[in-house]
Amino acid sequence: MINLEDGGGFSVTSHQLVELVEKRKDGAAALKEYGGALGLAEKLNVDPNKGLNPDNHHDMKARIEAFGASKFKDKPPKSYWVFLWNAATDKILILLSIAAVVSIVLEAVWGEQLAWIEGVAILIAVVVISLVTSLNDWSKDRQFRKLSAKEQDKQVKIHRGGSPVKISIYDLLVGDIVYLEAGDAIFADGVVIKAHSLACDESQMTGEPHPIRKGDKDPFIVSGCKVGEGSGKMLVIAVGSNCQWGKLKALLVKDEEPETPLQEKLDKLADLIGLMGLTVAVSIFLILLSKWAIEDYAVSKEKWDWHDLEKVIKYVVISITVVVVAVPEGLPLAVALSLAYSMHKMMKDQNFVRHLAACETMGGATQICSDKTGTLTQNRMTVVRSWIAGKDFDYQDGVDASTLGDKVRTVLCDSISVNTTADIEKKSSGLPEFIGNQTECALLAFAEKLGANYRELRSGANVVHLFPFSSSKKRMSTLITSGDGYRLYCKGASEVVLGMCKTFINQKGESEPLVPENITYLNSIIEDYARKEGLRTLTLAYRELPSSLSKEGLEPAEDLEDPGNFAPLDEDLTLIALVGIEDPLRPEVVNSVIQCKRAGIQVRMLTGDNILTAKTIAKRAGIYTEEGLAMEGPKFRTLSDEQLNKCVPILQVVARCSPEDKFVLVKKLKSLGEVVAVTGDGTNDAPQLLEADVGFAMGICGTEVAKSASDIILLDDNFASIVKAVMWGRNVFDCIRKFVQFQLTVNVVAVVTVFVGGILDGEDPPLKAIQLLWVNLIMDTMAALALATEVPTEGLLDRPPHGRNANLITFKMWRFILGHAMYQLIAVFLILELSQKIAWLEVSKSKDPKKTVNTLVFNSFVLCQLFNEFNARKLGNEINVFQNLHKNWIFNGVIIFSVVVQILIVQFGGAAMQTVALNWPQWGFCVLVGFVELPYGLILKLIPVPAEKPHKSITPIGDETQPLLLEEKPEGVDEYRKSFRKSIRRSMRKSLRKSRSSGISDYQRSSRRMSSRSSRRLSTVVPQDFDESVQVDEDDDRMMDKKDRRKSIPNLLRRRKSNPDRISEDTY
């Protein structure tokens, strides 16, 4: 007797269950000691038909105490002190610290009073840089850990309280009944209770390359594996650190996230700049040392004194500081900050980023291959039309169960209820939650409206075997016992299942033969549902089978466990119904597709629906156009590589698309130089998700296999979220470019200033080491924060994608870098030479004129950077550098902080910062020098530079400069289109010549007559027996209706008046 209320007293221990899993190689023999799966369930105090009682909290607590919680041991996070140590042990900072310490000692012994303060200030600056760098790294690591924790928190479907529910994997308990379906990841060890063609991929745990069939012979399900095919239920016997995956995970140390392609580019750029900076630093040291040695020893004949070592140390400090300033360690920091910031914000836009590289790669996407169901549509399906037992029904005003006879309604509801794995959970809010396949849920809701209790019908059926839906078969079947024999229920793609039917049931529930007239009529219904209304169509059928199954060469009944025996059962079916299921287009999809086209991204729809439904939905979404091509998967996969090269550029819709078709299309697009994003939700979609540059998995309806193969998970399964990912991707790339052009400008000016200033006056250069460290902090960490956290705007979609091999630094960026560097260098050296001659600056009246000049140089230099930071917000020729400034509080905060600290440094830095306090006129002068950066930046944009080379898309649509690539079509369509093109060219040229002499009115009338004749000519030359996937569709695919032709042909000809002999391919 199973005691469900007892919170403890389990007849088996956690140790025994773990040991049982470890003996799984013995197969069913190991389980027999416990009475099989049902006997083990009894020992765990659980009823397999009801599952655990969710209201019995005492029992839940007892299970956690007895068998452990579903928690996994993760690698402990790094403490802040680890990041601080890594930042403080930077080799360059160590060298600078050593030089500063030596300088302090020498200045304290031989130097002037308070001369040691500069060395102390350098040490303080090193500490500040280490603190800020470590704080940024620590914050970034925490963000990534939060995202990683969210990724690991999966949902699993279980059976509790007599009904299916979804819970977090962290809430799984020993004794839970878990549903298993193809594509599910397994997060706990268990034993099979029920299996239908169930096979698991155990390669990750055991290395076995082939799926392992699960059933009575091998009942153990191991965590860490995936369900390859079939369906079933399992009893959980080990969770958390006690399960096999938990034990293995405790031994694993997760590798750091690999560097993205952009990070690798920036690392190379940083190394190159650092090498150049090191060369300049060594040159400065050698020049200063040589100059001092010549002046003091060769000319002045002075003798060596240990006090002279102070000068050598000062030269070393200057040289090392040049290296600190020149090495752009802010570049990788900017990428990391931008990616971390983008990942956090993209989560709010329903994009969960699994791989960092996907953020930046998505910005260069040129092709998006999207599923239809749930991505372009709302995935809230409803049966709105049907043909049942010879009658056509429209359910726009509701479902009336009385319109069907009892026998027909019974067999229809039985078929829907038994032949499914989906469920509908009633929520307290009143809205039902669809669990499982949405199409099946729509059928279950339809059965409920017909008065059926699908759960009672399902539980009352004795299921012998279930054949899951597969993309190759396009159908799903369930075999149950019926009287003395068996009954097979089948549902699937309309044309596939209808082709297997020999009879149909009438309103009396009796079978009638399907004659050719019936089939023609039914095909017309399917076409109307699909073409006119855009409905997904399904056919439901059944078949009565004898108990022996000895007919038709089938194996005896005792061999039913072999799935191969069921292959011939889906023949000679009896048709029950055709249903049309509506899945409304998402309201935001049309605008999103328009945005993609504006951004130079080609959108293609890949769907399992038939060609008519696919084209109708694609037209409504704006994906399928008159210039495009729609093709069915079976036809697509027969094309040769040469034919693919010609078809793919204008291919917009692939119907009856299999995962293999998606993979071939993605691979072909990549081979043509495109950056491809693709969506997927099924287990079989994993190959194309991995092959694509960016793979999007569905967060709601996607399997765990698909999610684990993806780069980004769409949390809302919405196409509009993909467009947001494109915006964020482009924004990341732009932010890095903004930072690069800003930092390289500062690098050039700082290095040249120190180099020239050191040569002119090695004893007192215009920019001191401590000042350069502050500049380094501004241009590295602070600028990275300011420029790497810009918010994307829809304006990013108003340009073509940068493609796969775009240069990091464009000509416009070089104009920015060199132009602003030139202005700042001129300003710095003019201040050095002329500032004492400007009377109102009162430099000569100060106590130390030279130090005042150097302070003016330092202050003007820093203010130039701060004003130039506004210029750096724009990469192109945009005028308004303050656009959306109010939305970036980080940028504003960085600028305010930098200004405040700069004022404090100048006015109160004194000996530590090597500055003197400036008066109001001098501050006004420095602000004016910096402010000139803004108008100067506008003037720079007037200088013409070569434009960035745009990505060349393979898609010829809308581009009149490219010839139509599809010169040959399967089935010989091309020879008919060639004749049509020649005739339309001749007619248009004739019409153009006539229009020049007779005016626009005659011209319009002529073009209308010409288009009408051409349309009739096309309809006569194209034979009607062409394959639907490649023929010219006279109704709505290629030819416009008369009203559209009257509008568009004259407009087209007016656009081409300047070049009448050249007619674009979009004419056809």
Q: Which residues are designated catalytic?
A: 371
The encoded tokens of residue 575 equal 């048709």
Q: How many CA atoms lie within 13 A of 303 on its CB side?
A: 0
Instruction: Return the bridge partners of 714, or none.
Output: 351, 698
Let me know: does 437 contact 372? Beta carbons within 8 Å.
Answer: no
Q: What is the dihedral of CA 383, 388, 391, 394, to 10 degrees?
A: -10
Residue 282 to residues 285, 287, 405, 513, 787: CA-CA distances in angstroms? Answer: 5, 9, 96, 95, 32
Please state, in angstroms and rounded to a whole number, the distance separating the CA atoms of residues 390 and 396: 19
Tokens of 52: 């655990």
Query: How many whole angstroms separate alpha carbon 373 and alpha carbon 440?
Result: 13
User: How far apart (Å, rounded) are the C-alpha atoms in residues 389 and 813?
Assistant: 71
Q: Say how many residues make up the chain.
A: 1068
907, two tokens = 């006015």
CA distance 680 to 713: 10
Task: Give DSSP secondary structure letters for 629-690.
Answer: EEEEHHHHTT--HHHHHHHGGGEEEEES--HHHHHHHHHHHHHTT--EEEEE-SGGGHHHHH
Cβ neighbors of 796 (< 8 A, separation 6 or more) are 599, 727, 730, 731, 734
In angstroms, what is the C-alpha Rg of the chain?
37
Answer yes or no: are the C-beta atoms of 914 and 768 closer than 8 Å. Answer: yes
Using an 8 Å Cβ cutoff, are 377 and 740 in contact? no
Beta pairing class for 367-370 and 651-655: unpaired
Distance of alpha carbon 148 from alpha carbon 254, whole angstroms: 11
Work out the number of other CB atoms within 10 angstroms of the CB of residue 928.
11
Q: Which of 664, 627, 677 is nearest to 962 (CA)?
A: 627
Q: Distance between CA atoms of 752 and 766, rounded to whole angstroms?
A: 11
Helix/strand/coil (H/E/C) assignment for every residue in 452-493:
CCHHHHHHHCCEEEEECCCCCCCEEEEEEEECCEEEEEEEEE
Give Cβ neighbours of residue 666 (< 8 Å, ≥ 6 apart).
Answer: 369, 676, 678, 688, 691, 692
Task: Please check whether residue 490 is in contact with residue 411, taking contact to mean a CB–CB distance below 8 angstroms.
Answer: no
Quote the crossing angle between the two packed helices 406-418 and 438-449, to the nearest 10°: 150
Q: Among candidates 264, 261, 283, which has minimal Cα distance to 272? A: 264
- DSSP state at residue 781: I
Distant-in-sequence, close-in-space partners of 305: CB < 8 Å, separation ≥ 6: none
What φ, ψ does residue 86 adopt, rounded to 5°? Answer: -60, -40
198: which 2 tokens? 């169930």
What is the distance between the alpha carbons of residues 860 and 569, in angstroms, rounded to a whole number?
Answer: 86
Which of 12, 342, 423, 372 is closest to 144 using CA atoms? 342
Cβ-contact 726, 733 below 8 angstroms: no
Residue 480 CA to residue 463 CA, distance in Å, equals: 4
User: CA angle, 318 as apex, 312 and 324 as ends, to 5°?
Assistant: 135
Q: What is the sign of the dihedral through the CA atoms of 733, 735, 737 and 743?
A: negative
